[in-house]
Amino acid sequence: MSEGPMVAAKHPFVIEVEPGTYYWCRCGRSATQPFCDGSHKGTSFTPMQVEIADKQTVAFCGCKHTGTPPRCDGTHKTLP
């Protein structure tokens, strides 16, 4: 059985981001949600590299179960 991500939040993290490279936390363990802080070490998870070309507001998934990572698709509404 594979290890699943922890639910960090049952809501998206809506953040205005500048152009650059970001690392979205996939494991749910990071204290700096929605971004990776290295807390995945020792697990099978790695962060997702996200390239942002233009300044924009992004709804990053907080539950880590989205079908459109790293963006929220509303899956958190279906979690127990």
20 lies in some domain: yes
Per-residue confidence at 3, pLDDT binned at 50, 70, 90? Answer: confident
Per-residue confidence at 1, pLDDT binned at 50, 70, 90? Answer: very low
26 lies in some domain: yes
Per-residue confidence at 2, pLDDT binned at 50, 70, 90? Answer: low
CA dist 13 → 37, 41, 42, 43 (Å): 16, 23, 25, 23
Which has the closest alpha carbon to 45: 5, 1, 72? 5
- Whether residue 48 is predicted with pLDDT greater than 90 in this model: the reply is yes
This prediction's pTM: 0.94
6 lies in some domain: no
24 lies in some domain: yes
The whole-number pLDDT of residue 70 equals 98
- In three-state secondary structure terms, 22 is strand
- Whether residue 42 is predicted with pLDDT greater than 90 in this model: the reply is yes
Question: What is the C-alpha separation between 45 and 30, in angstroms, rounded?
Answer: 12
Structural domain boundaries enclosing 57: 13-78
**How big is the chain by its Cα radius of gyration, in Å?**
12
3 lies in some domain: no
Q: How many domains does the chain have?
A: 1
